[in-house]
Amino acid sequence: MTGLTSSPKLIKGGLVVLAPGGGTVRRQIALQYNPDTLSRSYQVQGTGGDGSAGGRAQPFRLKGPAIETIKLDAEIDATDQLADPDAHANAVAFGIAPQLAVLEALVNPSVDDLLGIASQADGGTLEILPPEAPLTLFVWSKNRVAPVRVAEFSIVEEAFDPALNPIRAKVSLGLHVMSTDDLGFSHRGGTIFLNYLRNRETLAGLTGSASLASLGLSSLP
C-alpha cells in the first residue's frame, strides 16, 4: 500500500468571520457536511421599462447590483465523535452545543458590546450608535467568496444525550449578500463583493455564444 488515492480532496463550504470593517480573521466555520442543495435568488434593481400614466416607457436601466439571497440547510452530528470519546471530550460533555453556539454568535452582539452600550446609556449618552458587527464571508469554493449578513436562522435539534445536550441538529441559514450598495466602495467588504462579481463575469466569459441559426433565425428583424 502506498497510501495514495485518486479521490479528489473534499473542499468544505463555510463562513469566515472578520473583525468589524473587515480586519483580522476572528474565526473560520467549516460546515461538517456540505449541503446537497444551495438555493440562490435575485431581486433585480432596475428602473424604467414601464409606461406610466399613458406616457412613453423609458429604457430599462440597472440601478445597482441585484440583491442576492442564499439559503442552505446544514446538518451537525456528534455521532462520529461520540464513538471515540477519549479523543472528543467536548462532544461527550456538551454534544454539538459548541458548534451551535458559534452559529448563534453570528446573530447576537457580544455581552461586552451590550454592557458597553448600557454603560454609555448610564453615563448620559443621548444617542448610542450600536457598534459595527463583524464582517462575515460566505465561502463556497475559491470562486465564490461573498460578504453576507445572516437574514434568517433556525435550528431543529433532533437528538439528545442523557444530559439533554443536543447531539444532532439541522440548521437553516438565509444569507443576504452585501454589495457595494450596503458597504460602499472603500469598505473591505465592498472590495470583496466586487471581486465576487468579477469572478462571475469571468466565468460568464468562458461560455460560447449561441448562433442565431441555433435560435431559428438567419438575421435579426
d(CA 77, CA 98): 12
The pTM of the full predicted model, rounded to 2 decimals, is 0.87
Residue pLDDT, tens place only, 97-149:
999 999 999 999 889 888 888 888 777 765 667 788 999 999 999 999 999 99
CB 147 within 8 A of CB 189: yes
Q: How many CB atoms lie within 10 A of CB 180?
A: 18
Residue spans of the domains in the chain: they are 14-45+61-196
d(CA 221, CA 217): 9
Locate cell 450600536: which residue? 130
Q: Which residues of 67-80 are buried (b: 16+ CB within 10 A; e: fewer)?
A: bbbbbbebebbbee
Identify which of 138, 134, 105 has the alpha carbon closest to the alpha carbon of residue 14: 138
Average pLDDT for residues 193-217, to the nearest whole number?
94
d(CA 170, CA 74): 6
- In the 8-state DSSP scheme, what is residue 205? T
SS3 sequence of 136-203: EEEECCCCCEEEEEEEEEEEEEEEECCCCCEEEEEEEEEEEECCHHHHCCCCHHHHHHHHHHHHHHHH
Between 16 and 7, the more confident residue is 16
d(CA 50, CA 56): 8
Side chain identity at residue 141, one-letter code: S
Residue pLDDT, tens place only, 58-105:
888 999 999 999 999 999 999 999 999 999 999 999 999 999 999 999
